[in-house]
A = this chain, B = another copy of it.
Amino acid sequence: MGLGVGLIGSGYMGKCHALAWASVATVFPDVDRPRLVALADATPELAREQADAFGFGRGTGDWRDLISDPAVDVVSIAAPNQFHADMAVAALEAGKHVWCEKPMATSLEDAIRMRDAARRSSKTAILGYNYIQNPMIRHARNLIAEGRIGKVNHIRLEMDEDFMADPSQPFYWKSEKKSGYGVLDDFAVHPLSLLAVLHGRITSVVADMAKPYPERPTSDGARRPVENHDIAQALFRTEFGASGVLMVNRSAWGRKGRIALQIFGSKGSILYDQERMNELQIYSAEDPADLQGYRTILAAPPHVPYRQFIPAPGHGLGFNELKVIECHELLRAISGEHDAYVIDFERGLEIERTVHAAARSAVSGTWVKIEYIDLP
């Protein structure tokens, strides 16, 4: 019998976790079917209703009750970001494995606290960076690691959506200062997670942040100043000597789920766009001269673990299915598999450090170095 699962939060990502827990053993025959023990949400009523809908054994309005349940072995944290730190630390201290949604926390201090709790614990603690789980990203990672595009020397990362693009959209909490820097925390962690698995870490950065709309209307007909930034960009250098650019924009009309990567090396290049998540493009300078061009590779059984979902090529995985893969890697990590492909709290903290360094640079107008002095 599989592990006991507790899920905190049943909104967008909570539902995504629930689907992953329900599907993981059907998709991956190497894992035992998890037991869906308990679901916690803001009120007992909501929790019970969602527990029924998602097939969990019980619902509770108190997440601490869920964490202390001895039948729960692993805790999925899909609650609002400001609660991540307390929940993750409590769960780890209660001896549970933790699967926490990104972003890790709303302050660097909290992220460090989470990392420290993970270090003290013998349990697995990972973050929900599901974009890395796309078979096409893993394929890109392998191709780069095998040297198929040579030494990487230049990287461009873009993440753009348009949910803040309408200037007439009323002011809401995402534009408050206490929500963070704006798009920088909201988005940048995603391309940075991809950079982490495809290449490595950023060591210095110079950034800029912009407000396309300095004010927004309020419900009472007034206008309120926007307190953070919907657009941000940064130049960077990496630990392996590449230069690059990071661009994030949540007011980019027309972009819906774009996470575009351009990775250039000494022997070729790789392109990817999350809006066409079942495709990867590669250019190889080793192709015959008259046949050189970008290949568009469609997701297919050779691209691990696509085959577990669909035996035929080109049929396409969806965004939600990346969470199923992540869940499987979490279970592998819990089982002690050393090659489990996850972003743990240690690596997650490095991503947070990069974001905060970029924010400092945007204020100072100068390059900021990122020291990884606290690495083991």
Contact = CB atoms under 8 A, between A and B. Distances in A.
Chain A: interface size category: 35 or more
Interface string A280-322: 0011110101111111111010110000011111111111110
Interface in A15-38: 15, 18-19, 22-23, 25-27, 29, 33
Q: State the main secondary structure of chain A at its contact with B.
A: mixed
A165 B291 CA distance: 17
Contacts of A292: 254, 295, 297, 300
Contacts of A23: 19, 22-23
B253 A265 contact: yes
Copies of this chain: 4
Interface stretch (A50-58, A86-94, A99-107, A171-179): A50-58
B235 A206 contact: yes
Interface stretch (A112-120, A256-264, A336-344): A256-264
B320 A309 contact: yes
Given A291-B295, A318-B317, A264 B252 contact: yes
Contact of A290 (B33, B52, B256, B302): B302
A243 B320 contact: no
B235 A253 contact: no
Contact of A165 (B29, B285, B297, B298): B285
